[in-house]
Amino acid sequence: MSQHVEEFAGRVDARLAGKLRRRASLPVDLLYDVAAADLVAVVTELRDGPDLRLEMLMDVSGVDYLDFGRSEWRTTSATGSGFSRGVNAAGAGGTHEGPRFAVVYQLLSITHNERVSLRAFCEDNEEPSMESLVGVHAGANWFEREVFDLFGITFPGHPDLRRILTDYGFIGHPFRKDFPLVGNVEVRYDNEKQRVVYEPVQITERTLVPRVIRDDARYDPTLKGRGNG
């Protein structure tokens, strides 16, 4: 761990002792877990503390730990060719224990040129929510709308929580691990109704046969038997 990062970590720990739990990270990173109930107070202190001054919220992202630790690929026993690395997706289960959803906040101190990442877990897996940070960082507005749209995590206190990336009639939250890869509905424009319509997904099975087209001078019949010259 670099000296300046450790010094900054010491200031964070001194000011917020008992409210943050340090996580393992790369030498240049500072990662912490914070309880959902303490999130707003902690972020406010990180912003206003004169020795911290994490005044900019760079990003907010959601995490779904439903299949955490599960892999569809063999690594130690794989061969060097073919498709032998592929395994059944229902193989070894994940290793995560605890709440399914989390929200991760990336904070930047322009004053001290330091970064801190905070992770807070949603207490309810069925209706995940996290207190809005719009009152602390106005830039959280669109970030929280993205997380709501893609993960279905709500943010009580948000002034205008609605979808921002998907369409108005979109069903579900596409970044959830259990969201069907084919989606729930398909969208098309109906010429007769002169509007966009939503219909159940229809998948027609088809067999694709690869075809190689050799259409160049090397396969010209008139050149057969001639030398390279």
* Per-domain residue ranges of the chain: 3-65+100-171
CATH superfamily membership of 3-65+100-171: NADH:ubiquinone oxidoreductase Nqo5 subunit (3.30.460.80)
DSSP output for 83-149:
TTTB--TTSS-----S-SEEEEEEEEETTTTEEEEEEEE-S-SSS-B----TTT-TTHHHHHHHHHH
Q: Which amino acid is at 183?
A: G
Place of tokens 């450790």: 6
Decide: residue 200, CB within 10 A, 0-12 exposed, 13-18 middle, 19+ buried.
exposed
- Give the pLDDT of residue 181: 81
Helices in the chain by DSSP H: which ranges?
3-15, 39-48, 140-151
- Give the pLDDT of residue 164: 94
What's the rounded Cα separation, in Å, for the pair 87 and 90? 8
Extract the residue ranges of the chain whose pLDDT is less than 50: 83-93
What's the rounded Cα separation, in Å, for the pair 110 and 41? 20
Decide: residue 33, CB within 10 A, 0-12 exposed, 13-18 middle, 19+ buried.
middle
What's the rounded Cα separation, in Å, for the pair 58 and 107? 6
- Give the pLDDT of residue 115: 93
CA gyration radius for the chain?
26
Q: Is the pTM of this model over 0.85?
A: no
Residue 45 CA, chain-centre distance (Å), reads 26
Pairing of strands 114-121, 31-34: parallel
Residue 35 neighbours by CB distance under 10 Å: 13
Torsion of CA 146, 149, 151, 157, to 10 degrees: 70
Q: Is the torsion defined by CA of 154, 155, 158, 164 positive or negative?
A: negative
Residue 125 C-beta-side C-alpha neighbours within 13 Å: 8
